[in-house]
Amino acid sequence: MPPVEAIIGKLAQAQQGLLRAADAIPADEWKASPGNEAWSAAELVAHLIGAERFILGTADRMTQKPADPAPFYKRMHLPLALVEARLIRRKTPIPVNPQLVREKEAMLGELREVRGRTLAFLDETKSRDLSAYGWRHPFLGRLNFYEWFAFVGSHEIRHTKQMQEIAGNRHHMAERRMFQK
């Protein structure tokens, strides 16, 4: 059984990084797209909220019944480091829920709230070995219970880089506007 403490540490580190990156986006630019079909900071956070809720809900439902262990060859998957590296850009199979796109502080509060529920769930289940539970990720392959929660941290690290790009693009656009005047 993987140490849940390591996953909890990763989740804390990932969310701290994302929140620092989000601080660089002014509230009045939160919903503004940086262009060419790229997500706004608000859409990015809505995606993270939706993904974490989905993973938490799926894990909760699955652990209510006996595990359906997968054979060894079906447990193979790509490493989570690929998610964090952001070398391969992918389109999410789950569209962003427009109802989750709100003002900056409300969204960041909701992101923290979802993380609180995730941490509570991990704490409630820490005495059980849930490694036999798992389901398929659309790009990585089958992840077990613990790998899914490590994925939440890796996913947030990946999108922290995107949030930093949004903040950087914001600066470049402001500089361009200054020189065009």
Query: How confident is the prediction along the chain (181 residues), in pLDDT tens digits per residue?
Result: 567 999 999 999 999 999 999 999 999 999 998 877 788 999 999 999 999 999 999 999 999 998 887 776 677 776 677 777 766 666 666 778 888 899 999 999 999 999 999 999 999 999 999 999 999 898 898 999 999 999 999 999 999 999 999 998 755 454 444 444 5
pTM of the model: 0.86
d(CA 114, CA 120): 10
Q: How far is CA 146 from CA 2, 6, 13, 49, in A?
A: 7, 10, 17, 19
- 34 — phi, psi (to 5°)? -75, 0
User: What's residue 93's pLDDT?
Assistant: 60
d(CA 122, CA 149): 9
- 40 — phi, psi (to 5°)? -75, 170
Query: What DSSP character marks residue 111?
Result: H
Q: How far is CA 90 from CA 5, 8, 24, 86, 171, in A?
A: 29, 26, 25, 9, 25
Q: Give me the amino acid identity at 151.
A: F
CATH architecture group of domain 4-180: Up-down Bundle (1.20)
Domain ranges within the chain, ordered by starting residue:
4-180
Distant-in-sequence, close-in-space partners of 134: CB < 8 Å, separation ≥ 6? 70, 75, 142, 143, 144, 145, 147, 148
CB 24 within 8 A of CB 150: no
User: What's residue 177's pLDDT?
Assistant: 44
User: What's residue 70's pLDDT?
Assistant: 74
